[in-house]
Amino acid sequence: MYILYNLLLVIATVLLSPVILFKVLTVPKYRGGLTQKLGRVRKGVLRVLDGSRPIWVHAVSVGEVMAAHPLVRELKKRYPNRKLILSTVTVTGNHTAKQRVPEADAVFYFPFDYPWVVRKVISRINPSIVLIAETELWPNFFRELKRQGIPSAVVNGRISPRSYKNYLKFRGFFQEVFRNVTLLCMQSENDAVRIKDIGAHADRIIVTGNLKFDQKISDVKSLPLHIAPNRRVITAGSTHRGEEAILLDIYSRLRNKYPDLLLIIAPRHPERFDEVCGLISNAGFECQRRTRLKGSAKDVLLLDTIGELRAFYALCDIAFVGGSLVKVGGHNLLEPAAVKKPVIFSRYMFNFKEISEAIIEAGGGIMVKDKDELYAGLDNLLADKKNAAAMGEKAFSVIAVNSGATTRTLDAIRDIIGDH
């Protein structure tokens, strides 16, 4: 099966090479860390390690980095004399790791899953253990770890219903992959059942909870903008293509009832900032960009920065979390919940199923089916500030009730970290 996997990997690379080359030459994010992904280990990383065997944590992008942060922080406390390194795949994940995870001794890019690449990188870094956040199943990487006698664990593991169906089609192959993974720490009982169904052995699976609930979301010490007391604010965070147009149409309708309403849109991907600015202008509003804002915000503000979304959730009355009106799977509901804001999101929350269900059950948020229900939900909360504030308090309570996954995960991996 591995021979077939690697053959397909090479064929796909050859067939897609013109597209890949075009992307690398024209889109900056595809150039980010390219040589590292191809097997180069930066001298800065090797200097930090100085021959020691580090704990290696991998988190693919921004969401995984932030979810893994509580674990990284506690690992550093428990093993202060061990080097701790953090890898990512995306440029934004790499930037976030460097800015928001000071406990990491080095941050770098994860290698492509070619056998010769992962063999070189693993040999040069020589980790004592590798912890993979969520479910990044890289077959050659895990097999090479096993070959070199290095233990590995999936932490904060999850298998979405959609991924589960796809994995089942290749159960025989994933059975082989899971034989190379030492431990699988899953978010929920459902995730544990799914990963067992697709080939993991039951004695390697443990339910530890969701690390995202343990995120240390710092207080917002000061609001990023001055907002007049009489203004109402909706912050739409981590939006994707197809959502901004819906939000702008709803905003136009709501403005007839709430003339003082301000909409803040924070696209998930920085490369879409210009595109979203065009949508705002085409909707008949002046596009005010955060990076160029002088004076007060008027109608629609485009948050074209990275790392400020939490502060903009703090100044809003209602938070909408994107990636949920379109089939992306949603984004982190805990950031607005942590600043006691009522949260609205739509039905495509399969990447945050447990969190969304917990917030709904607590009465801290609303799931809407479509554009009309989103309009009605926003309208109701704008009309009833007391109810909106109470909902925000309930959203905040979810974090305290569900915390503890970090401790359970650390206890689970304690024996395999050992003294390697």
Positions annotated as catalytic residues are 64
Q: How far is CA 210 from CA 100, 269, 344, 407, in A?
A: 19, 25, 21, 11
Cβ atoms of 113 and 138 closer than 8 Å: yes
Angstrom distance (rounded) from CA 222 to CA 225: 9
Angstrom distance (rounded) from CA 228 to CA 239: 25
Angstrom distance (rounded) from CA 171 to CA 192: 15
H-helix segments, 206-332: 243-257, 273-282, 309-314
Helix, coil or strand: residue 84: strand
Sheet holding 233-239, edge to edge: 287-289, 300-302, 262-267, 233-239, 318-321, 343-346, 365-368
Element (H, E) at 57: strand 55-58
Residue 263: beta bridge partners?
Answer: 234, 300
Angstrom distance (rounded) from CA 142 to CA 139: 5
Tell me which residue has tokens 């024996």: 415
Residue type, 274: D
